[in-house]
Chains A and B, each alone.
Chain A
Amino acid sequence: MATLRDIQRRIRSVQSTQKITRAMKLVAAAKLRRAQERIIAARPYANKMAELLGNLVSGAGEEAHPLLAQREGPRRQIVIVTADKGLAGAFNSNVIRRSLEFVRQSNATEVTLVVVGRKARDFYRRRPYTIKRDMIGFWDRLAFNHAAELADYFMSQYLGHEVDEVHLIYNEFRSVASQRPVRQQLLPIPRTDGEGAGAESVEYIYEPSGEAILGDLLPRHVRMQVYRALMESLAGEYGARMTAMEAATKNAKEMIEVLTIQYNKARQEKITKELLDIVGGAEALKQGAEA
């Protein structure tokens, strides 16, 4: 049986944990709101871009641009996006598990990795895969430039015929409480990317030409895809952390309740025992005096 003081100590410890989890939840909620606003702010650009892409690609053949060309080669590059920090439920492990499945399906000697986020780097660093590049410590100040840099890196690899396919694995933000790891093929650009954007084809005057505009559009499209994925992953991370910390705060509350009951019971028992001792002692004294 734990002593009174032990129980009290545990209650205090759980209380301070609860304070931390509650604070983390509030911080995650505030950051989540900002991250969601960014996703919404990027939408006008992204939607219009998809529409233009659909318009231009439907008229162009595969040979119109090297980023569209399907190749037979087996060399895959896989970009894995996780958070830098944990304490976000299964957020990181889900996406890592998904990526590991895909990495194992690929031909091991031909696959190269680009890891984004500390968790992905730490996981794959200890395993026998080739990490071409990592990107960590930027999440707090995520900007379009980060996405552009990453996208330009693997586009140059692709155009330099060092890789034949580029895939992105990240957590899709479905709702505050739900994130799902998804895989997206980035290169060659799937021809379905611009489809369903709701564009009827228009006879434009092009300047300088349709092909030149397409050549400008495709790299920007890829950068935007990466940017969107990074934003979704960030929003997902905060959502996951918020949910996890909410659960932790609730668990702490339940634990405090249980411990408090235990504490009261122990206290009562102690008082009862003391009373019995006093009564017993008094009885003994009385008997001694009478004798």
Chain B
Amino acid sequence: MADRLSLEIATPMRLVTAETADEVVIPGIEGYFGVLPGHAPFLTTLGIGRLTYRQGREERHLAVAGGFAEVRNDKVIVLADTAETPEEIDRARAERSRERAERRLAGRSQEEVDHMRCQAALARALTRIQVAERGR
């Protein structure tokens, strides 16, 4: 058993990161889960949230949304629809989309689909803001 995890995060557009980590915390569809070396093979869909990985004492954060995460043989592979580092996040844009989503959710006569879409947009915006704040 290796004592570290290898972590790969890829989106359709690019490979976001490939490095080693001591611990990874991933936003799964059914809640956050932590991965340490020696984890059982695991496959899940991703939710929207903050992915954290620890290297020694240093923690790094990414805002991820949608996709999959696989854990196998101390290898963690995250295939995300989007994954952004704190530096990449456009804070002002995230704030704007948060406001927009909140306004829409407050309004009445929502169709179910729209409502769900707005909630997802809100979750993404909140995650981005959170990651941007934490990561700096």
Contact = CB atoms under 8 A, between A and B. Distances in A.
Contacts of A208: 29-30, 44-45
Interface string A219-237: 0100110010000000000
Contact of A207 (B29, B72, B81): B29
B44 A206 contact: yes
A111 to B, nearest CB: 30
A41 interface: yes
A38 B15 CA distance: 10
Contact of B68 (A210, A216, A227): A216
Contact of B13 (A143, A204, A216, A220): A143
B44 A144 contact: no
Interface residues of B, number: 24
B42 A207 contact: yes
A48 B40 contact: no
B30 A207 contact: yes
Interface in A21-65: 38, 41-42, 44-46, 48-49, 52
Given A202-B72, A207-B30, A144 B41 contact: no
Given A41-B15, A44-B10, A213-B44, 19 more contacts: A42-B14, A44-B8, A44-B15, A46-B12, A143-B13, A144-B12, A203-B41, A204-B41, A204-B42, A204-B43, A205-B40, A206-B43, A207-B42, A207-B45, A210-B43, A212-B45, A213-B68, A217-B68, A223-B12
Contacts, number: 70
Interface of B: 8, 10-15, 18, 28-30, 40-45, 67-68, 70, 72, 77, 79, 81
A265 B68 CA distance: 73
Contact of B41 (A38, A202, A212, A213): A202
Contacts of B15: 41, 44-45
A48 to B, nearest CB: 6
